[in-house]
Structure 1
């Protein structure tokens, strides 16, 4: 069973890898990809701890609303673990 998650609705300044349009949206972890250096730290020349990276699947209707064409189509995005929180009400 895929884990239900929500992208945290954070709006930090500077370089972030998580797309704005996915913040606050719910999806499921399609797979875990391993741990990689955090690009949000690397962008500023900081030491970058290795963080778990996940491929998260979102329904288009959950991103753009129920009136979007083909709302059951999906979008996969690779999102670091620190951007995700559990979402019991996710699809």
Structure 2
């Protein structure tokens, strides 16, 4: 499987806004993390929601973020993380 990113690559989630169906939560946009795993390639759910006839096939990644980098005033351990599955078209090189 050809992918843009590899495990442990540093990424930033695109901060653009999105109208309609979107699987990328607003709170994670603009945040930096790393690729934890490559989940596979699937039809783009944003295009499916718009009833596009032949949705683009896109790679889905599990990305890991430090909680303290995601939430302002996070008071937990510095080692605490959150993992989210994010499609490739929402990720840019860090």
Common fold: TM-score over 0.5: yes
Matched residue, 1:76: 83
CA distance in 1, matches of 2:72, 2:28: 12
Q: TM-score, normalised by structure 1?
A: 0.88
Q: Is 1:48 the counterpart of 2:66 in the alignment?
A: no
Instruction: Give the count of matched residue pairs.
Output: 87
Give the aligned CA root-mean-square deviation in angstroms: 1.4
Segments of structure 1 that go 5 or more residues without pairing to the other structure are none
Contact 1:60 1:68 in 2 (8 A): no
Matched residue, 1:13: 19
Contact 2:67 2:74 in 1 (8 A): no
Q: TM-score, normalised by structure 2?
A: 0.85
75-84 vs 41-50, greater mean Cα deviation: 41-50
Matched residue, 1:63: 70
Segments of structure 2 that go 5 or more residues without pairing to the other structure are 1-6
The SS at the match of 2:70 is: helix
The runs of at least 4 aligned residues of structure 1 exceeding 4 Å deviation read none
CA distance in 2, matches of 1:45, 1:70: 43
* Alpha-carbon distance, 1:13 to partner: 1.1
Q: Is 1:31 the counterpart of 2:30 in the alignment?
A: no
